[in-house]
Structure formats: C-alpha cells, structure tokens
Amino acid sequence: MVSKTGLLYFLNSPYVKVIFMVDINLKNQTPTAWLNRVLEHFNEFLIDHAANERKAAMTAMSMVAHYPDRVSLVETMIDLALEELNHFRQVVKIINQRKLIIPPDRKDPYISKLRAQFNNGSENYLLDRLLCGAIVEARGAERLMMVSKALANKRLAKFYLSLATSEKKHYLIFLDQASIFFEDEIIKSRLEEWQVIEGDIIKTLPTLPRLH
C-alpha cells in the first residue's frame, strides 16, 4: 500500500499518467527460510541492503544519462535517484551505529541474470529496463515487508515498513513510465514474460542474507 504522503507526491508529478492497466504478480513468493537467514545474519543483510540502495540510485541516474530526450523519464528518474540515495544514507547510519564497514562492491547475480534477458533494439531495451526495474522494486517491496513484520526492534520494523512502502511506489513509477512510451497490450505481454523470468531466476539463487 502506498503511503498517503508518497501517493500524493506521486500523483502530483506532471509526468505521471496514473492509468495502470497492468500490475505485477510475483511468481515464487519468497520462502520463510530466506527471512530466517536474514534475521540470523542481520548485519550482513544491512550491508547488502545499503549496497542495493546505492546501486538503485546509480541505475536511475544511468537512465537519465541514456535517455536525455525523454523528459518525463529524466525528471522521474532524478527524483527516484534522490529518494534511493536518501535510503542509502539512512541504512548507512544504522551500519555506522553498529560499527560495521561496507566492503567493496560485488556483483549481484540476481541483477546480472535479469539483465541478460534484455531484448535487443532501442525500444525493446527501454521497455525491458522499465519492466525489469518494476519487477526488482516489487520483489524488494515483498521482502522488506517480510523483514518489517518479523523484526522485534520496533524502531527498525517501522523503518523497514517505510522502505517497503517506498518500494511499492517505485514499481508503480516504473510501470507508469512504461505506459507513457508503450501501448498497454505491449506492456502486459512483456510483463507477463518478465514475471516468469524473474520467478525462475529467484528460485535458482542460494538462500543468503541478501536482499536478492
């Protein structure tokens, strides 16, 4: 569920159509075994989570650089990058409070496997970037909500609830941007494929205390 404040921000953007003919239905829901692993190794999860927030900001800015002629996308991705960077800062504060150190970057097999499924051709590639972005945010929303509900620390639980709500808003933003540039039937058809692709990938990955 999108928060009232987040929804108002989203609706007030001049670049948002807010006409959703499709939604995301994740295949292969995250098992409890993943959540248990996260709770047992929460410090490791925090470090990976921070890296994911930073990478999400970088991905949004890469779309700004790659599509400077698509005004709605540029404006929207700048706002998204700023929000993701703020989330990174918030997670880093928790990491610093625990006297942890963020290690050097490492590749995310989940993201690498998803990107390997992008179609060729400039328009197909843009559609896949947007729909993949939506799928990743939807999976993040699912998992962060699980973490929020399971944490005994009420302050942390509230924080992760806010992040899960943001992730839901973010996946709607990606779908909305897709609806600006592509017909609904094209989006629906390719999104159905992406849901299967993502579901197949997620079930092949080892159960680790990582966001993906």
The CATH code of the domain that includes 173 is 1.20.1260.10
Counting every residue written for the chain, the total comes to: 212
146: left (phi over 0), alpha (psi -120 to 50) or beta: alpha
DSSP 69: T
Tens digit of each residue's pLDDT (9 = 90 or more) over 95-135: 999 999 999 988 999 999 999 999 999 999 999 999 999 99
Phi and psi torsions of 107, nearest 5°:
-70, 150
Q: What is the pLDDT of residues 152-205, one digit of tens each?
A: 999 999 999 999 999 999 999 999 999 999 999 999 999 999 999 999 999 999
Count of C-beta atoms within a 10 Å radius of residue 144: 22
pLDDT of residue 22: 64
Q: In sequence order, which residues have a C-beta less than 8 Å from that of residue 172 and are 6 or more positions away?
A: 2, 10, 20, 134
173 with 166: CB under 8 angstroms? no
Establish if 20 belongs to a structural domain: no
Q: How many domains does the chain have?
A: 1
Is residue 47 situated within a structural domain?
A: yes
User: What is the rounded distance in angstroms from the CA atom of residue 81 to the CA atom of residue 165?
Assistant: 16
Is residue 126 in a domain? Answer: yes
Instruction: Give the whole-angstrom CA distance, residue 212 versus residue 201.
Output: 10
